[in-house]
Amino acid sequence: MPNRLDLPAGFRWGASTAAYQIEGAVGEGGRGPSVWDVFAARPGAVRDGHTGAVACDHYHRYPEDVALMRGLGLDGYRFSIAWPRIQPTGAGPANPEGLAFYDRLVDELLTAGITPLPTLFHWDLPQSLEETGGWLNRDTAYRFAEYTTAVADRLSDRVPAWITLNEPFVHMVYGYALGIHAPGRALMLDALPAAHHQLLGHGLAAAVLREHGKEVMIANNLTPVRAATADPADLAAADAYDALHNRLFTDPLLLGQYPDLSAFGVTEDLGGAVRPGDLKLIAGPGLDGLGVNYYNPTRIAAPTDPGLPFTEAPIDGVPRTAFGWPVVPDGLRELLVGLRDRYGAALPPITITENGCSYGEELDDQERISYLDGHLRAVEAAVAEGVDVRGYFTWSLLDNFEWAEGYHQRFGLVHVDFETQKRTPKASYTWYRDLIDTHRTWHSHGS
Ligand code: GBH
């Protein structure tokens, strides 16, 4: 039995997934191709040539998956909506079959007593929009707002809060700067307009959601940045990295301005992408909640070659997940307290929208339990220090298609056999269920 966590009564427990990682059925229901279908088909792009064509077949098996969520006792479920199911070519009238799928999913969730928390964009851009420049093209932000209107018109009567974008940093860096994710472009710093246009898309979509009377969130992957040593060169490098990874995606939303990126030789208008009025649109009247995806901290040293103003340094002496990522639970407390200290009254309530780890195929996943327990203790510590954290959504409900790693990294509380599609709850599933139950029971006794 897990020990009780000292978290508020209304604290929301959830799990997260994303469309391309679980749905499969890529040619069904009138769905158009996304950049991930095209990228995954490129030889060498994804480990062992895996693709999301079938994934967890969630498109057909969603009732079984919602039953698994109900078994956990989740308050909320974070999933993403596949834009190419709604607009197969990224423009034009909504595809009724696409809307109908999410309509069924939302109803299934509500019947199970679970609040849907959809993400509008989790990296699966309609391929047609990539052909006109993807997020490097300012027009994509306006297309995103149109798509948001179609989805909100249909679902907002049953969906109270929405996440616009998932991890615009990762999408820009992996997708446009390094080319290790779709759309596979390796533009280095010339990828920066993709950051601005995603944020502009956020602002335009947020306005649509507010017209529908809905709460607006974003899910940013944030990392506490530690300098490798106290040497001024390492400190300056860490500050530059923090500006690029964290502040570039939170300052415009919460402070209405971009951070200083002069260490990268980048001008305030991000290479000409920022137009007058954009920052007002991006900040809008403010976020109703900040989604934080946390996996690990980052250690940064002075650059070893002249291309970039930093270099990544290893974090030694800590355990690692199967992915090789360092396990540092206190980094989450450090991150949350750091956000409160930086943004103060401008910081909206926080929800942890992703946190989890990849391990092997074992069903008795004690390492995952220990990872999750450690990170929840870190949330508890941050709350004790006065940070307003309202909920925790673990990544992920199911083992799924882990992007460039294909099916080789397993993040699920539920094991998926990708041959048979059989779902088997792991020990962490039972542990999480009991943790949620303990939390509820404690508070229902009026303490
Ligand atoms: C998220 O991205 C995604 O939203 C989700 O779709 C994905 O499945 C999930 O996480 C798991 O990957 O080399 O130690 O510095 C996470 C983005 C980028 C977080 C790389 C950790 C650095 C690891 N990640 N990052 S390290």
Decide: helix, strand or coil at residue 383: helix
Quickly state the pLDDT bin for 1 (edges 50, 70, 90). low
Q: Exposed, middle or buried: residue 427 (CB in 10 Å: 0-12, 13-18, 19+)?
A: middle
d(CA 165, CA 206): 10
Phi, psi torsion values for 424, nearest 5 degrees: -135, 115
- Give the residue ranges of DSSP H helices in 212-306: 232-242, 248-254, 278-283
* H/E segment holding residue 300: strand 298-301
Q: Which two tokens stand for residue 151?
A: 């989805």
Q: Is 137 annotated in some ligand binding site?
A: no
Per-residue model confidence as pLDDT tens digits over 86-96: 999 999 999 99
- 354 noted as active-site residue: yes
Give residue 374's pLDDT.
Answer: 98
Decide: helix, strand or coil at residue 394: strand
Per-residue model confidence as pLDDT tens digits over 213-225: 999 999 999 999 9
Per-residue model confidence as pLDDT tens digits over 113-136: 999 999 999 999 999 999 999 999
Give residue 4's pLDDT.
Answer: 86
Chain centroid offset of residue 184 CA:
19
Decide: helix, strand or coil at residue 321: coil
Q: The whole model's pTM is what?
A: 0.98
Per-residue model confidence as pLDDT tens digits over 24-66: 999 999 999 999 999 999 999 999 999 999 999 999 999 999 9
Q: For residues 370-387, b (16+ Cβ closer than 10 Å) or e, as one string?
A: bbbbebbbbbbbbbeeeb
Chain centroid offset of residue 182 CA:
16
Pocket test for ligand 1, best of 354, 375, 408 (most atoms within 8 A of CB): 354
Ligand 1 centroid to 387 CA: how many Å?
24
Number of Cβ within 10 Å of residue 268's Cβ equals: 11
Q: Is 36 annotated in some ligand binding site?
A: no
Q: Is 409 annotated in some ligand binding site?
A: no
The contacts of residue 177 (CB under 8 Å, 6+ apart) are 185, 186, 187, 188, 189, 191
Spell out which residues line ligand 1, taking CB within 6 angstroms.
Answer: 18, 21, 166-167, 170, 221, 293, 295-296, 298, 325-326, 354, 395, 402, 411
Per-residue model confidence as pLDDT tens digits over 360-400: 999 999 999 999 999 999 999 999 999 999 999 999 999 99
Ligand 1 centroid to 362 CA: how many Å?
21
Give residue 306's pLDDT.
Answer: 85
Ligand 1 centroid to 410 CA: how many Å?
12
Give the chain's largest Cα–Cα span.
61
Per-residue model confidence as pLDDT tens digits over 235-270: 999 999 999 999 999 999 999 999 999 999 999 899
Tokens 């294909």 identify what position?
406
| Full set of structural domains in the chain with CATH | 12-444 (3.20.20.80)
Pocket test for ligand 1, best of 21, 56, 395 (most atoms within 8 A of CB): 395
d(CA 245, CA 293): 13
Question: What integer is the mean pLDDT of 321-325?
Answer: 98
Q: Over the chain, what is the mean pLDDT?
A: 98
Q: Which two tokens stand for residue 109?
A: 């969730």
Ligand 1 centroid to 401 CA: how many Å?
13
Quickly state the pLDDT bin for 138 (edges 50, 70, 90). very high
